[in-house]
Amino acid sequence: MKIGYLSTFYPFRGGIAQFNAALLKELKSENHVQAFNFKRQYPEFLFPGSTQYVTENDRAEVVESIRKLNTINPITYYTTYKTIRKFNPDLMISKFWMPFFGPSLGYVLNSLKKRGVINIGILDNVIPHERRPGDIPFTRYYINSNNGFIVMSNAVRNDLLSFKPDAIYKQVLHPLYNHFGSLLEKKLAREKLGILYDKKVLLFFGFIRKYKGLDLLLESIRFLPDDYLLVIAGEIYGSFDEYEQMIKNYNLENKVKLFIRYIDDGEVPVFFSASDVCILPYKSATQSGILGISYHFDLPVIATDTGGLREMIEPFNTGIIIREPVPNLLSSAISDYFNLELSNQFKSNIEKYKNKANWASLAKEILNLYEILKNNQKF
């Protein structure tokens, strides 16, 4: 079967590109697949990070793609469509994570849909964490340009159905990323980061944004003894001043170690190998790629009960879910994790998740959905 895949690929970096590269590789094992990429993903002034592109230390999958689509140049919407039409796919896959991409992706997909191509959208988010004018019409335009959908949490499924109650979809577990390499010996990893071996190490990892609740986590560690250490590793979207002030006001300088920068793929194993538990104190969420990285390194998770995080933890007993994002509940959960020695129990259960959440399973569900859509008279 001929499959087109329109999304973010190398040389762009980040979790979306990593997801796409892994799924593309799996689909290529039995299909003729062509990647179609952005020529410009975001205008630089709209991108809050340091760079959109891979660095020499990233373990990025080099994907050969056709780079045509410029999100702020409508002429490229048409030329991208014409290029994909020449490829003549049976199935067109795209990935959607924020409304900004609705106009560009929606135009291309809608044009293909009118020509009889079946479109399947993989939805990371439907309703964004940080809302802006135009979100609703842009999202609706994208959704209406697809025939079917892949969702990876109940929250995203429910948001999809709020836009399109008759949507045809498959719900799957978010696959684990598998390109980061292997665990390091904990003592060695801590030496690399300058961390004493006897510390109880909590990891907050990934892009730092308001909805991810770092302020709640800083509040919570006020209540923990001095042998706890919070490692904050990731690039800030916006300003870190608020968090710096909290660290100073609460006298947390000796309980926090900062790596406020983009963490290259080659460094990822060090942070997860050095840690005892990964903390996701999110105020809102759908599913989490960070949780998937944590599981790859057999690291249990403590997370708030928001979005689809419970679905990725509780059924497998791989961590602790906090019923609401409140600092004292978070600190109590962290204490219980260590005092009740839950680490080994949770680690053994992570293997159950790994057996279900893989790229082969996702590719199979996409192809099954394609067959359903192909045989559906509506299409």
pLDDT for 174-187, tens place per residue? Answer: 888 877 889 999 99
Q: pTM here?
A: 0.79
Q: What is the mean pLDDT of the chain?
A: 91
Which DSSP string do the residues of 21-48 spell out, in sequence order? HHHHHHHTTTSEEEEEEEEESS-GGG--
Calculate mean pLDDT across residues 233-257: 94
Structure-model confidence comparison of residues 55 and 219, the more confident one: 219
- The yes-or-no verdict on residue 57 having pLDDT over 90 is no
What is the per-residue pLDDT for 379? 40
| Angle, alpha carbons 313-316-317 (nearest 5°) | 75
For residue 372, what are its two tokens? 């359903």
- The yes-or-no verdict on residue 44 having pLDDT over 70 is no
- The yes-or-no verdict on residue 306 having pLDDT over 90 is no
pLDDT class for 361, splitting at 50, 70, 90? very high
Least trusted range by pLDDT, from 126-135, 139-148, 316-325? 126-135
Calpha distance 134→257 (Å, rounded): 39
Quick one: what percent of the chain has pLDDT higher than 90?
A: 73
Count the Cβ atoms, other than its own, within 10 Å of residue 371. Answer: 10
Domains of the chain: 2-175+358-375 (3.40.50.2000), 186-356 (3.40.50.2000)
What is the per-residue pLDDT for 264? 85
For residue 165, what are its two tokens? 């109650």
CA distances from 363 to 32, 172, 285, 360 (A): 13, 10, 24, 5
Three-class DSSP category at 232: strand
CA nearest to 280, candidates 247, 253, 319, 222: 319
CA nearest to 322, candidates 217, 172, 222, 252: 217
- The yes-or-no verdict on residue 46 having pLDDT over 60 is no
What is the per-residue pLDDT for 288? 78
What is the per-residue pLDDT for 51? 63
Least trusted range by pLDDT, from 12-16, 52-56, 77-81, 295-299? 52-56
Calculate mean pLDDT across residues 338-357: 90
CA distances from 77 to 37, 107, 110, 147 (A): 12, 6, 11, 19
What is the per-residue pLDDT for 45? 55
Structure-model confidence comparison of residues 62 and 229, the more confident one: 229
What is the per-residue pLDDT for 56? 64
